[in-house]
Amino acid sequence: MFDDSFDHEAWHDGGETRVILIVDFWHPDLTNEEIKMLTVLQNARFKAEAVFSEMDPDRDNFYSIIEEAKELIKDNEWWVVGP
């Protein structure tokens, strides 16, 4: 588990694909109003990233990385464990 309130990095130098499940949790001390505001800001950022992605499709961004990742593993192979 990573706490994004601290800078951190993670590297994977293995020969196989690494799959990461990311789950976001709101800090329990946030009020409902603060969560609503942060949600609006987060959604605005996603929309801006989508616009930037369309303007410059060759630039790495949130959406281009997801689209490229979809092509990495076919036919649910990542569920297979072992030889």
Question: Could you read off the pLDDT of 65-74 as tens digits, one per residue?
Answer: 777 777 776 6
Is residue 61 one of the residues assigned to a domain? yes
* 78: pLDDT strictly greater than 60: no
Is residue 41 one of the residues assigned to a domain? yes
Domain that includes residue 55, residue range: 32-72
- Residue 32, pLDDT score: 95
Is residue 50 one of the residues assigned to a domain? yes
CA–CA dist 48, 1 (Å, integer): 28
- Report pLDDT digits (tens) over 45-63: 888 888 877 787 777 666 6
Is residue 11 one of the residues assigned to a domain? no
Say which residue, 25 or 22, is predicted with more confidence. Answer: 25
Is residue 51 one of the residues assigned to a domain? yes
Residue range 20-29: mean pLDDT, rounded: 83
- Residue 41, pLDDT score: 92
Domain count, the chain: 1
Helices 62-70, 32-55: crossing angle, 10 deg rounding: 70
Is residue 24 one of the residues assigned to a domain? no
Query: Is the distance from CB of 26 to CB of 35 less than 8 angstroms?
Result: yes
Is residue 63 one of the residues assigned to a domain? yes
